Amino acid sequence: MKLLRNAINPFLAATVLTAVLALAVGCASSEEKEKRKEASSLRLFLEQEFDPGDKTTLVPVFRANPVLVRIEKIPFLDEGHLIDAQLVDVVGGFAIVASFDFHGTLVLDNVSNSFRGRRIAIYSMFTDGRWLAAPVINGRVSDGRLVFTPDCTREEAERIVNGLNNVAIKLGNKPKPGKEPKEDNF
């Protein structure tokens, strides 16, 4: 039997092919790595009536036609209690859905039940800080999910949602992609 000197070793070929595929699939592009580093904030402020002290301030919400909303200076809820953020399509555009943990759900439930008719001014810091929305509280929000239409482009909304999810992962509120959430055994 003649041996071919120029034949490719099948074992070597399989090893090289496996290594190339592993590098192609396993290595994230620099753009994906940058997206994992993005961070965003989400602060919820309650509308207040006039206060002669220094506990409230006026903020302009909406860029095209600003509406001045008087709010408490301290947010009642922030991204520290966020477990997930999603960008969803709605009639006429898109909306951000912010889902909060148990504490955030209780706070949102309490505020929405106690202060119907007032606004929640929503602020986010992504590439720059901006007031995104000021929805009126029309009813009780007992499921911990705040849905609002932001005053931003779709690309900015995607950046905000991605940054919020990265913060939730970093804080341990959300499992890393591809990992199962830990089960608490009490």
Three-state DSSP at 123 gives strand
Contact between residue 151 and residue 130 where contact means Cβ atoms under 8 Å apart: yes
Return d(Cα 23, Cα 20) in angstroms, integer: 5
Return d(Cα 108, Cα 115) in angstroms, integer: 10
**Dihedral angle sign, alpha carbons of residues 98, 100, 104, 106:** positive
For domain 35-171, is the CATH number 3.30.1360.200? Answer: yes
CB-based contacts of 81, cutoff 8 Å, min separation 6: 100, 101, 103, 104, 107, 173
Structure pTM?
0.77
pLDDT of 148 higher than 50: yes
pLDDT of 53 higher than 90: no
Tell which phi-psi region holds residue 117, choosing left (phi > 0), alpha (psi between -120 and 50) or beta. left
| Residue 158: predicted pLDDT | 96
pLDDT tens profile 89-146? 999 999 999 999 999 999 999 999 999 999 999 999 988 899 999 999 999 999 999 9
pLDDT tens profile 158-182? 999 999 999 999 999 998 887 665 6
H helices of 27-143, where? 30-37, 102-114
In this structure, what DSSP letter does residue 144 have? S
